[in-house]
Structure 1
Amino acid sequence: MSDIVIISGSPSDFSGTGKVLDYLGRLLEREHFSIRHIAVKDVPPEDLIYGNFHSAVIKKISCDIQGAAGVIVGSPVYKAAYSGALKTLLDLLPQDAFKNIPVLPLMTGGSRGHLLAIEFSLKPLIASLKGKSLQGLYFLDSQIDKQQKNPIIDEESLLRTKKQLHEFIEDIKKSNRLAAAL
């Protein structure tokens, strides 16, 4: 099992969302967490389209998420919401797949006009799966350079990211302490 599961809702091979999620994974590995990356583009399309709850791939994803200490869910903004592929994947998970798990939501978009997509679309989805959502991160495309090892090129965004990651780690530690006490 991985300590942290990172889910990318981007259907693209070369997305800003994916690059930021990879970067967060590297930062978390430096903090001695094991990471499992899941990308909707790597899930068999027929499992998603036909709602194959019994797929071995979907069962493995579900098991990995339910065994994780924390989850990061990221998506580009499409029509003021997360990607349809991400929604389809999450629809195939058990209703309480994120139960008692700290979840860091992340979205990328082309304008500040989509800033509230994280609040009005992604966070309610996380809540419906019983996750404990953190504040979340939103990046403008102009704040990301997909060619860089650290793709977050805006200094203020990078500071905000590190602060959110610290809070995420603290929530994981707190959840682990509570679970150990039970």
Structure 2
Amino acid sequence: MATVLSVSASPSATSRTARMLRTLDAALTADGHTVTALDVRDLPPAALLSGDLGHPAIARAVELFAAADGAVIGTPVYKAAYSGLLKCLFDLLPQYALAGKTVLPLATGGSTAHVLAIDYALRPVLSAMGAAHIVQGWFVLDRHIAVGDDGTVTLDPAAAGPLRQVVQQFSTALDSQEALRDRPAPALR
């Protein structure tokens, strides 16, 4: 199965975005994929902001992107766009860091006014970074992500059903990508 990098671009230590992603990671793992989580907020701020590609944590993040077959990119929406933390990470990655990869864009926010941030802010950047296939993304309202005292995440049915669908589409696309990669190239005459 595929190797997936699950990226949370929330600066918050109590991020609903990150918690939702970790729940989706479990579903992808159950589908047989190997999932690695990357919380961008855990990268050293000075190295991230100064573009220090030689810093071990930054170099490791770049390696994780290179090794992944696909990526789930989750971000809160601020000012109708993805987080500045995600922008800092993207600025450090090679221009075509997503070349040949399948990508699932996800966003969270407080208002449906930001639902188009995926298509108008995030998708063009993912495309410019060479993503082979960007599956349908999904926007989840913050209020649809409940976190219990024990840290368990419960998704409102309004979010859970559509999220299951986009994660399944992503998983299927990863499987298709892997099958294409494993198929021998046709002989040229």
- Give identity over the alignment, percent: 32
Letter in 2 for 1:152: L
Does the 8 A contact of 2:118 with 2:139 survive in 1? yes
TM-score scaled to structure 1, two decimals? 0.94
TM-score scaled to structure 2, two decimals? 0.91
Q: Which residue number in structure 2 is paired with residue 133 of structure 1? A: 134
Q: How far off its partner does 1:105 sit?
A: 0.3
Q: How far off its partner does 1:137 sit?
A: 1.0
Within 2, Cα distance between the matches of 1:66 and 1:117? 26
Q: How far off its partner does 1:71 sit?
A: 0.4
Does the 8 A contact of 1:152 with 1:158 survive in 2? yes
Q: How far off its partner does 1:30 sit?
A: 1.4
Q: How far off its partner does 1:150 sit?
A: 3.5
- Aligned runs of 1:6-155 on 2, under 5 Å? 6-131=6-131, 132-147=133-148, 149-153=152-156, 155=157
Unaligned runs of 5+ in 1: none
Query: Match of 2:105, SS?
Result: strand
Does the 8 A contact of 1:6 with 1:36 survive in 2? yes
Question: What does the per-residue CA deviation read over 1:105-143, in whole Å, with 9 as the maximum and x for residues that have no partner?
Answer: 000000010111111111111111111211101001111
Letter in 2 for 1:102: T
Q: Which residue number in structure 1 is paired with residue 159 of structure 2? A: 157
Within 2, Cα distance between the matches of 1:92 and 1:20? 25
Within 1, Cα distance between the matches of 2:171 and 2:80? 29
The structure having more radius of gyration, on CA atoms, is: 2
Within 2, Cα distance between the matches of 1:9 and 1:166? 22
Letter in 1 for 2:174: I
Letter in 1 for 2:142: D
Unaligned runs of 5+ in 2: none
Query: Match of 1:130, SS?
Result: coil
